[in-house]
Structure 1
Amino acid sequence: MSYFEVVNPLFGRYVLGNAPVKQIATGFDWVEGPVWFGDAGCLLFSDIPNNRILRWSPGAGVSTFRQPSNFANGNTRDRQGRLVTCEHGTRRVTRTELDGSVTIVADRYRGRRLNSPNDVVVKSDGSIWFSDPHYGIMTDYEGFLAEQELPCHVYRVDPSGEIEVALADFNCPNGLAFSPDETRLYVADTGRMFGSDPQHIRVFNVASSGALSGGEVFHTISPGCADGFRMDSDGNMWSSAADGVHCISPDGHLIGKVLVPELVSNLCFGGHAKHQLFMTATTSVYSITLNRRGAQNP
């Protein structure tokens, strides 16, 4: 059985021919937001409709990390190793402190409630960037049906706590990631729920001040869309897709695929050398060992 589809021979540098795609956990409804905790040797991920964050550990399997999770979606870690989470149910971004207490990072902009924060990344300067589409308030499946009070934007939260709109020209921003040197920011637009808007990944130049410029289309995933993605140490993007995970070169070209039997929602790098790719895919979590390391927070 082949676990790969090679589009460009370059892809052979990044995969191991005898490394299988493994289903490491299953039985969920819609899993998202994987994040690796190397110091704890575990993966956290969200089972959104069941209102919980789960923990997977090699040898120990799956256990509950937090329930209720306020319909948590995207997760990441900051430079201090703290969990940062997007919550649909409370329409906010939170940080779990090292003592277990929870701090609200953002829940409003200019007095209006956020929609349903979806995905989040932390820059090396401590700023927190997150997407805020409306998906979690359009039905009761992944949150609570509610009125939309703000457009769908990408926000930046300064280390001081000040929140500002970083990007305002998206239909529904979703996955986002910085290049390894943080000079580029990639943001997916996955279109409005019940709509047929364009679905693609855009790329922005990042100035030392954090100001963004550019915004041209970087790549369009097919089949499916770029719900979530992460970068490797060479600057390649590994993105979710309907048929698995697509590997996209720094110049925006598809070079290969990791084939997964379910629709992939998101992914992260982890394992002892950050060379294991963990993929949340509809009802299950999968993993594969690659020949490159991830370029992401610890």
Structure 2
Amino acid sequence: MVHFKITLKSIFIILLVVNFCSCTSQSTGIIAEGAELSQIANTFSFTEGPAANEEGDVFFTDQPNDQILKWSASKNTIEVFKKPSGRANGLYVDHKGNLLAAADEHNELWQIGMNGNIDTLITQFEGKKLNGPNDLWVDLKGGIYFTDPYYQRPYWDRTTPDIKEKRVYYVAPNRKDITIAAEGFVQPNGIIGTADGKTLYIADIGAKKTYSFTINDNGDLTNKTLFTEMGSDGMTIDHKGNVYLTGDGVTVFNKDGKQIAHIPVNEEWTANVTFGGKNQETLFITAKGAVYTLRMNVHGVRYPMD
């Protein structure tokens, strides 16, 4: 019989090796070698809705403080872009460089020019006030998909929704016609599409599930398929088709729905995530009152790469 002497030092070394191996295997090469999560600001109340422009700058919201902010990728600085912001939540930059906002204050969709001018695109559906547009994604034709859950806000006069169903809607490229794209959700939230415009992922955070849908030529969604047994507040996707879900840090799934990585964030809640920075190689994360960046080996698909 062989006897081993176990010391506190040896236990610590074993745990350190196990933890290192676990983190290494989890990353599966998507995080750049030597990269570490970097907190670039923590002076906000609740950060959400990151959206990158073609230069790699990222717009994000601080809804309790009613402001949209802009992170400069080249300077690594943050400045206020618009305040008040209509209590903007989710954001997306459209194909013409305008900033689209889920303006939660009056349950609207806004189009904001880089000069700050606002065009209100959608205010209601079939004569009823929307529940509260949350997150959005723009397809290849310029149509807008947006999730419409119901989260009671302290700045609303109403206490019940006009529309019972929590749906996903589609706004046609003319930015006028609005139709139901999908329903049957408990609380739809995060949303992201693939670069080829053929697949849309929708997180039902209320049911703790995320689904994939086939996007048809007319904008209709079909072939609802369970992607993973996890919901999400916000979502993004990389050039390999990996899907990034948020909540407890950032959890990454490959296109087959298998978890391949988990990026821990030392905050109570991670709300949203996108790719920004030069060559879309920076993962930009909003979490509680802070924002973080992480250098990646993969890149986003929002803009064509040379």
TM-score (norm: length of structure 1): 0.88
User: Is the Cα–Cα contact under 8 Å of residues 152 and 168 in structure 1 kept in the other structure?
Assistant: yes
2:263 corresponds in structure 1 to 258
1:144 corresponds in structure 2 to 156
Equivalent of 1:175 in 163, 176, 190: 190
Amino acid at match of 1:55: K
Query: Displacement, 1:5?
Result: 5.6
Matches of 2:95 and 2:108, distance apart in 1: 20
Where structure 1 has 5 or more consecutive residues not aligned to the other structure, the ranges are 192-197
User: Is the Cα–Cα contact under 8 Å of residues 44 and 55 in structure 1 kept in the other structure?
Assistant: yes
2:11 corresponds in structure 1 to none
1:124 corresponds in structure 2 to 140
Query: 3-state DSSP class of the match of 1:264?
Result: coil
Query: Displacement, 1:70?
Result: 1.3
1:110 corresponds in structure 2 to 126
User: Is the Cα–Cα contact under 8 Å of residues 56 and 63 in structure 1 kept in the other structure?
Assistant: yes
Cα deviations by residue, 1:188-228 (Å, 9 ceiling, x for unpaired) = 1112xxxxxx211011112223222121221123xxx4111
Amino acid at match of 1:249: N
* Identity between Structure 1 and Structure 2 (%): 30
User: Is the Cα–Cα contact under 8 Å of residues 73 and 87 in structure 1 kept in the other structure?
Assistant: yes
TM-score (norm: length of structure 2): 0.86
Matches of 1:286 and 1:238, distance apart in 2: 15
Map 1:57-206 → 2, pairs under 5 A = 57-58=72-73, 59=75, 61-135=77-151, 138-140=152-154, 143-146=155-158, 147-150=160-163, 151-160=165-174, 161-191=176-206, 198-206=207-215
Map 1:24-63 → 2, pairs under 5 A = 24-39=40-55, 42-58=57-73, 59=75, 61-63=77-79
Higher radius of gyration, 1 or 2: 2
User: Is the Cα–Cα contact under 8 Å of residues 170 and 219 in structure 2 kept in the other structure?
Assistant: no
User: Is the Cα–Cα contact under 8 Å of residues 42 and 290 in structure 2 kept in the other structure?
Assistant: yes
CA 72–16 in structure 1, closer or farther in 2 if over 3 Å, else same? same
Query: Displacement, 1:6?
Result: 4.5
Equivalent of 1:233 in 222, 236, 239: 239
Normalized per residue, the structure richer in helix is: 2
CA-based RMSD: 2.1
1:195 corresponds in structure 2 to none
Corresponding residue pairs, total: 282
Matches of 2:283 and 2:209, distance apart in 1: 22
